[in-house]
């Protein structure tokens, strides 16, 4: 389920292409905030910055600020994010259109195994789509669009979007075109695996409490964010490599180049990129940095 944060992230700000609007409710009984935060220091003890695992959409009214986080933000000279121009909906819409559209695509139901077709039809119906609506949309783009049908938050409340509005000095790790191109360059079979993964995720919605993922993120419960076992999109080796592992390795290269030159920086990227041996904390430790979780 954690990957859905990353998938939905790709469509944030694409208002001109939005085929549906996700609904969100006011914040319910959310726990006190303590989202995962790490301090990064150099081998000589120099304060290099912080790693903050973000969530890219939240219901209205959720408080995620803490004194520890606010102190780290106040000491950060730079903000490092995946995409820095999330509010430029026109630019993002054009990028999406450039990459997502392709003529003579098969009907969408024919792009998944037969066992998934009835659920796909139900998912399209929930979003008020018809099978013909996707005839010029590549499979990856259809998958991302359908992921929005079971959104439980608003991109406008995304943590990275809020932080971007507060920092003048920003470093962009990918940018919208490069980020969407990761999906666009997937082999067609991998795109279909992605679509089937979205279908499976939609089937789980009724099995967990509402806002379960957001609440786990707010508590900093990384073990819970790893839920899902073998039947997740990240369990597909090709998708995991493209969507997580390779990106983390590229980001660490940029981060280690920029940190010594720019001063303390707040590195705020999706929480999925912080987890496990291929997460950013572990990779930075391999580069000789001291990385300590402080929240």
CB 136 within 8 A of CB 129: no
Q: pLDDT means per 10 residues in the chain (295 residues)?
A: 37 32 54 96 94 92 96 97 87 91 90 95 90 91 88 83 95 94 96 93 75 90 68 80 95 96 94 93 97 98
Q: Which two tokens stand for residue 224?
A: 């819970």
Number of Cβ within 10 Å of residue 130's Cβ equals 12
**pTM across the whole model:** 0.86
Report the distance separating Cα 52 and Cα 160, nearest Å: 10
Report the distance separating Cα 220 and Cα 274, nearest Å: 11
**What counts of helices (H) and strands (E) characterise the chain?**
13, 6
CA 189 and chain centroid, separation: 22
Report the distance separating Cα 2 and Cα 204, nearest Å: 12
| Three-state DSSP state, 150 | helix
What's the confidence (pLDDT) of residue 225?
Answer: 74
What's the confidence (pLDDT) of residue 227?
Answer: 58
Q: Which two tokens stand for residue 101?
A: 């559209």
Which of 221, 211, 206 has its CA nearest to residue 152?
211
Report the distance separating Cα 273 and Cα 294, nearest Å: 17
Q: Which two tokens stand for residue 213?
A: 């993922």
Question: What pLDDT digit, counting tens, does each position of 82-131 carry?
Answer: 999 887 888 888 999 999 998 888 999 999 999 999 999 999 998 899 88
Number of Cβ within 10 Å of residue 286's Cβ equals 11
* Largest Cα–Cα separation, the chain: 60
Domain boundaries, the chain: 2-19+31-293
What's the confidence (pLDDT) of residue 167?
Answer: 96
Question: What pLDDT digit, counting tens, does each position of 61-72 carry?
Answer: 999 999 999 999
Distances 234 to 7, 17, 220 between C-alpha atoms, Å:
11, 27, 20
Instruction: List, in order, residues 6 or more apart from 119 with CB less than 8 Å away.
Output: 199, 202, 203
């Amino acid at each position: 389920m954690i990957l859905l944060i990353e998938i939905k992230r790709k469509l944030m700000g694409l208002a001109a292409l939005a085929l549906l609007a996700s609904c969100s409710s006011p914040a319910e009984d959310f726990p006190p905030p303590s989202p995962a935060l790490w301090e990064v220091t150099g081998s000589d003890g120099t304060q290099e910055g912080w790693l903050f695992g973000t969530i890219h959409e939240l219901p209205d009214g959720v408080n995620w600020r803490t004194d520890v986080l606010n102190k780290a933000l106040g000491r950060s000279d730079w903000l490092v994010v995946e995409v820095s121009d999330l509010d430029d909906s026109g630019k993002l819409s054009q990028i999406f259109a450039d990459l997502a559209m392709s003529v003579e695509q098969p009907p969408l139901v024919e792009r998944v195994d037969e066992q998934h077709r009835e659920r796909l039809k139900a998912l399209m119906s929930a979003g008020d789509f018809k099978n013909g609506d996707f005839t010029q949309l590549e499979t990856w783009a259809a998958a991302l669009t359908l992921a929005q049908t079971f959104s439980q938050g608003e991109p406008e409340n995304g943590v990275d979007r809020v932080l971007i509005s507060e920092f003048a000095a920003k470093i962009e790790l990918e940018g919208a075109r490069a980020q969407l191109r990761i999906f666009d360059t997937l082999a067609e079979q991998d795109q279909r695996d992605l679509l089937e993964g979205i279908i499976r995720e939609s089937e789980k919605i009724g099995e967990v409490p509402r806002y379960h993922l957001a609440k786990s993120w707010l508590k900093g419960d990384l073990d819970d964010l790893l839920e899902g076992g073998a039947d997740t999109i990240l369990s597909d080796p090709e998708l995991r490599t493209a969507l997580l592992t390779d990106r983390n390795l590229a980001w660490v290269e940029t981060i280690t180049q920029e940190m010594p030159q720019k001063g303390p920086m707040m590195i705020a990227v999706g929480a999925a990129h912080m987890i496990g041996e291929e997460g950013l904390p572990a990779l930075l430790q391999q580069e000789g940095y001291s990385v300590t979780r402080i929240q």
